[in-house]
């Protein structure tokens, strides 16, 4: 798939890297100043700062974190955005971002635990890829394998590390899959080679 068919994916990557760069200048290697102001912190959200559910998804805890998320989003986003078309893919991504954020919030409600990263939304893209496997039977095996393996590896890693928000990952997968289920792929015929 070509990046020219995935402007939303490229835009999300650009925003994440721009915020990461800003964080380096605004407060240390992990962007501590931005994390304090914009991370998903349940106590702050309960106090009315609801936007943190969204802004937290554009922050990352260091170079390795943003690098791995970028690779995952690029690989999955190019295909899923091509398949669904940019407007529908944007809906899938935003729904997954919000459901992942809400799940992370609910799982840590009443605390000051900060959650950051785009992985909830990215997991939603993999969830959408799995749904595509059922919508496009000719590609089912390849799509399910490409989607399920990263989902299982990510959740497995999350369950073995206490500082990972698996609730956010699960919320993202569910939200992305449900949004993809409700939408029709824009290029389904092209993907299976039908006129």
- Angstrom CA distances, 10 to 6, 17, 118, stand at 6, 11, 14
Which residue in 60, 70, 76, 169 is the catalytic one?
Answer: 169
Which residue in 70, 76, 119, 165 is the catalytic one?
Answer: 119
How far apart are the C-alpha atoms of 43 and 108, rounded to whole Å? 9
Non-local CB neighbours of 22 within 8 Å, separated by 6+ positions: 31, 34
Phi and psi angles of residue 115, each rounded to the nearest 5 degrees, phi first: -115, 130
- Angstrom CA distances, 70 to 6, 20, 36, 45, 75, stand at 14, 12, 23, 27, 8
Active site residue 119: yes
Q: Which residues are catalytic?
A: 119, 169
């Amino acid at each position: 798939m070509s990046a020219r068919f995935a402007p939303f994916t490229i835009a999300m990557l650009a925003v994440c890297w721009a915020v990461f760069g800003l964080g380096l200048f605004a407060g240390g290697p992990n962007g501590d100043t931005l994390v304090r102001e914009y991370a998903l912190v349940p106590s702050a959200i309960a106090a009315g700062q609801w936007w943190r559910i969204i802004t937290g998804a554009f922050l990352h805890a260091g170079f390795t974190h943003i690098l791995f998320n970028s690779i995952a989003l690029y690989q999955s986003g190019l295909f899923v955005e091509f398949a669904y078309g940019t407007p529908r893919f944007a809906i899938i991504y935003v729904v997954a971002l919000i459901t992942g954020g809400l799940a992370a919030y609910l799982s840590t409600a009443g605390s000051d635990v900060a959650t950051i990263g785009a992985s909830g939304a990215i997991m939603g893209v993999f969830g959408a890829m799995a749904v595509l496997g059922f919508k496009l039977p000719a590609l089912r095996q390849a799509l399910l394998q490409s989607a399920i393996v990263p989902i299982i590896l990510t959740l497995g890693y999350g369950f073995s590390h206490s500082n990972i928000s698996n609730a956010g990952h699960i919320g993202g997968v569910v939200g992305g899959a449900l949004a993809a289920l409700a939408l029709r792929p824009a290029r389904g015929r092209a993907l299976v080679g039908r006129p």
